[in-house]
Amino acid sequence: MKFTKLFGTVGAFLLLSAGALAGTLKVGATPVPHAEILELIKPDLKKQGVDLKIVEFTDYVTPNLALSDKEIDANFFQHKPYLDKFVEERKLNLVSLGNVHVEPLGLYSKKIKSINDLKKGDTIAIPNDPSNGGRALILLHNKGVITLKDPKNLFATEFDIVKNPKKLKFKPTEVAQLPRILPDVTAAIINGNYALQANLSPAKDSLILEGKESPYANILVVRKGDEKREDIQKLLKALRSEKVKKYIEENFNKDLFIKKLKIEKILAWIANVIMILITVLLSLGAFSSQLATAFKQKEFEPILYNLLQDPGVESLLKSSGLDIVSLLVLLVKVYTIVAIVALLLALIASFAMKARIVSGILFLISAIVIGVMTVGILLPVYLLYFIVAIMLFARKAPKNPVDIDFTQTPEKPEIDRLEYL
Band the pLDDT of 336: cuts 50, 70, 90: confident
At 419, the pLDDT band (50, 70, 90 cuts) reads very low
Instruction: With a cut of 90, say whether residue 344 has pLDDT above it.
Output: yes
Contact 384, 368 (CB under 8 A): no
Per-residue pLDDT tens for 1-32?
444 444 444 443 333 333 334 479 999 999 98
**Per-residue b or e along 20-48, where b marks 16 or more CB atoms closer than 10 Å to that residue's CB:** eeeeebbbbbbbbbbbbbbebbeebbeee
Burial of 92 (0-12, 13-18, 19+ CB in 10 A): middle
Taking domain 2-102+220-245, whether its CATH number is 3.40.190.10 is answered by yes
Query: Of 113, 103, 102, whose CA–CA distance to 205 is shortest?
Result: 113
Please provide the average confidence, as pLDDT, over all residues in the chain: 82
pLDDT, position 297: 74
Top-confidence residue, 421 or 5:
5
Three-state helix/strand/coil letters over the chain: CHHHHHHHHHHHHHHHHHHHHHCEEEEEECHHHHHHHHHHHHHHHHHCCCEEEEEECCCCCHHHHHHHCCCCCEEEEEEHHHHHHHHHHHCCCEEEEEEEEECCCEEECCCCCCHHHCCCCCEEEEECCHHHHHHHHHHHHHCCCCEECCCCCCCCCHHHEEECCCCCEEEEECHHHCCCCHHHCCEEEECHHHHHHCCCCHHHHCCEECCCCCCCEEEEEEECCCCCCHHHHHHHHHHCCHHHHHHHHHHHCHHHHHHHCHHHHHHHHHHHHHHHHHHHHHHHHHCCCCHHHHHCCHHHHHHHHHHHCCHHHHHHHHHHCCCHHHHHHHHHHHHHHHHHHHHHHHHHHHHCCCCHHHHHHHHHHHHHHHHHHHCCCCHHHHHHHHHHHHHHHHCCCCCCCCEEECCCCCCCCCCCEECCC
Q: Is residue 195's pLDDT more than 80?
A: yes
If one compares 271 and 302, the residue with the highest pLDDT of the two is 271
Query: Which amino acid appears at position 141 of this protein?
Result: H
Separation of alpha carbons 415 and 421, rounded Å: 16
pLDDT (tens digit, 9 = 90+) per residue, 199-237?
888 878 899 988 755 678 889 999 999 999 999 999 999
Rounded distance, CA 108 to CA 113, Å?
9
At 326 the pLDDT is: 78
Amino acid letter, residue 220: L
Q: What is the pLDDT of residues 117-168, one digit of tens each?
A: 999 999 999 999 998 999 999 999 999 999 999 998 989 999 999 999 999 9
CA 98 to centroid of chain Cα atoms: 26
Cα–Cα distance measured from residue 409 to residue 97, given in angstroms and rounded to the nearest whole number: 9
Check whether 404 has a pLDDT greater than 70: no
Looking at the chain, the whole-number percentage of residues with pLDDT higher than 70 is 80
Give the length of the chain: 421
**Neighbouring C-alpha atoms within 13 Å toward the C-beta of 111:** 14
How sure is the predictor about 283, in pLDDT bands with cuts at 50, 70 and 90? confident
According to the model, what pLDDT value does residue 300 have?
A: 67
pLDDT confidence bin for 174, thresholds 50/70/90: very high
Q: How confident is the model at residue 318 (pLDDT cuts 50, 70, 90)?
A: confident
Predicted local confidence at residue 165, as pLDDT:
96
| Ranges in the chain annotated CATH 3.40.190.10 | 2-102+220-245, 106-210
Residues 55-74, mean pLDDT to the nearest whole number: 96
pLDDT at 10: 40
More confident residue, 174 or 418: 174
Mean pLDDT of all residues in 259-283: 83
Beta carbons of 157 and 178 less than 8 angstroms apart: no
Residues 6+ away with beta carbon under 8 Å from 67: 28, 73, 74, 75, 94, 221, 222, 223
pTM above 0.75, yes or no: no
> Which residues lie across from 26 on neighbouring strands?
53
Mean pLDDT over residues 382-388, rounded?
90
The answer on pLDDT for 277 being more than 80 is yes
Under CATH, what is the fold of the domain 106-210?
D-Maltodextrin-Binding Protein; domain 2 (3.40.190)
Distance CA 188, CA 171 (A): 9
pLDDT for position 353: 84
Residue 334 has pLDDT above 80, yes or no: yes
CA gap 340, 275 in Å, rounded: 9
Who has greater pLDDT, 401 or 290? 290
Nearest to 204 by CA among 254, 267, 133, 138: 254
Per-residue confidence at 411, pLDDT binned at 50, 70, 90?
Answer: very low
Please give the pLDDT value at position 291. 65
